[in-house]
């Protein structure tokens, strides 16, 4: 297999702020895996929440496994993932990019979309929310009004005026809300906020507390009036069982999990434990969004607006418009590059 690595600069339509910081552009890594005349595309999207897995670290990790890829006789993404995992255990973002590319390559070799090779059908698919990043209340209202064709809004919180933000947004729309504190709340705040958020038609609270506060989450699990969804607390399959004891569901990010292969396993385990399953994205191009879209038949909720936050994309593939995913006719993940 031949590995090609590219850096890509992706300006955002608007500054995007969470409790972890503000972004005006993304520096993502695009990978290509080539074999037998076919090419699969993958993407790694560094995040402010995971500073050790920045673009430089991802590139370094990819170079580390280049010799292994050169000598690998590709058969399936699962087999390649098992071979790569021990070498990239400290960089799930690099592993994810390669696993996405491997699935795209595999589907193209098999002349079928990945979702079809998994035995799935594109029926009863959840619609995606649109994320409103932290800003002044006036700017958050404007961002929501500009995205009124989306059916659900996810509101980033973690400020001193969180309830005021949700109240102000609720005055402008009757559509459902989801709120994401991105680890920015305390146990007391979550208990205090949840009844009011429930009255404001919020569906659930995502990751209220910092990672590692398991005792506090156990108490919240019994006291919150809204369902609690783990994000930062659910990094990999090793976290699913523990999350089942103090969250009502998990949000799986392909980048954190290390790709599509472990994400499928996480979904299976979550279902066996009675958890709701959401899948989410970073701010990333249509490459990674097309990978996430393959999971839609398996999900309760989805957050796949990442490419919609960009000022310009670099690929065609699964298109998300007004929260609805439209699948291309191509094989694999259906990806073609535009630059």
Average of per-residue pLDDT across 229-257 = 97
Q: What is the pLDDT of residue 18?
A: 87
At the topology level, CATH places domain 117-337 in: TIM Barrel (3.20.20)
**So where are the chain's domains?**
2-111, 117-337
Radius of gyration over every alpha carbon of the chain, rounded to an integer in angstroms: 19
For 154, the token pair is 């996810």
pLDDT of residue 20: 82
Q: What is the mean pLDDT of residues 89-113?
A: 97
Question: pLDDT tens-digit profile of 85-96?
Answer: 999 999 999 999
Look at residue 49 in the predicted model and tell me its pLDDT: 83
pLDDT at 48: 86
**In the predicted model, what is the mean pLDDT of residues 190-218?**
97
pLDDT of residue 327: 98
β-strand partners of 21: 18
> What's the count of helices (H) and strands (E) in the chain, helices before strands?
13, 15
pLDDT band at 329 (very low <50, low <70, confident <90, very high): very high
Report the half-sphere exposure of 190 (CA within 13 A, side-chain side).
Answer: 30
Give residue 78's pLDDT: 98
- Report the SS3 class of residue 304: coil
Contact call for residues 64 and 320 (beta carbons, < 8 A): no
pTM: 0.96
Closest CA to 132 of 102, 71, 173, 101: 173
Fold of 2-111: Enolase-like; domain 1 (3.30.390)
Strand pairing of 2-18 and 21-35? antiparallel
Residue pLDDT, tens place only, 31-85: 999 999 999 999 999 988 888 999 999 999 999 999 999 999 999 999 999 999 9
pLDDT band at 215 (very low <50, low <70, confident <90, very high): very high
Confidence check: pLDDT of 134 > 90: yes
Instruction: Give the integer Cα–Cα distance in Å for 324 and 122.
Output: 12
Over range 8-18, report the average pLDDT.
Answer: 93
Please report, for residues 21, 203, 328, the alpha-carbon distance to residue 243 in angstroms, rounded to integers and kept in the order given: 26, 19, 35
């Amino acid at each position: 297999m031949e590995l090609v690595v590219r850096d890509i600069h992706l300006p955002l339509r608007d500054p995007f702020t969470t409790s972890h910081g503000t972004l005006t552009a993304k520096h993502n890594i695009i990978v290509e895996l080539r074999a037998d005349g076919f090419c699969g595309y993958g993407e790694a999207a560094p995040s402010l929440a995971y500073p050790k897995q920045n673009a430089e670290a991802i590139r370094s990790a990819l170079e580390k496994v280049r010799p292994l890829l050169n000598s690998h006789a590709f058969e399936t993404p699962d087999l390649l993932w098992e071979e790569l995992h021990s070498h990239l255990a400290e960089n799930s973002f690099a592993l994810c990019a390669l696993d996405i590319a491997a699935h795209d390559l595999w589907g193209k070799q098999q002349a079928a979309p990945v979702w079809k090779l998994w035995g799935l059908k594109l029926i009863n698919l959840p619609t995606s929310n649109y994320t409103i990043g932290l800003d002044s209340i006036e700017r958050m209202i404007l961002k929501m009004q500009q995205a009124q064709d989306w059916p659900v809004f996810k509101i980033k919180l973690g400020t001193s005026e969180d309830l005021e933000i949700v109240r102000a947004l609720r005055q402008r729309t009757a559509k459902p809300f989801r709120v994401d504190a991105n680890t920015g709340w305390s146990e007391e705040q979550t208990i205090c906020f949840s009844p009011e958020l429930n009255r404001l038609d919020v569906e659930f609270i995502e990751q209220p507390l910092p990672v590692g506060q398991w005792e506090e989450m156990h108490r919240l699990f019994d006291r919150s009036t809204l369902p609690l969804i783990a994000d930062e607390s659910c990094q990999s399959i090793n976290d699913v069982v523990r999350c089942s004891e103090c969250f009502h569901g998990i949000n799986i990010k392909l980048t954190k999990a290390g790709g599509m292969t472990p994400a499928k396993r996480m979904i299976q385990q979550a279902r066996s434990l009675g958890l709701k399953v959401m899948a989410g994205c970073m701010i990333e191009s249509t490459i990674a969004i097309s990978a996430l879209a393959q999971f839609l038949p398996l999900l309760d909720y989805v957050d796949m607006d990442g490419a919609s936050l960009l000022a310009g994309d670099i690929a065609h593939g699964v298109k998300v418009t007004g929260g609805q995913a439209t699948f291309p006719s191509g094989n694999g993940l259906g990806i073609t590059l535009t630059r």
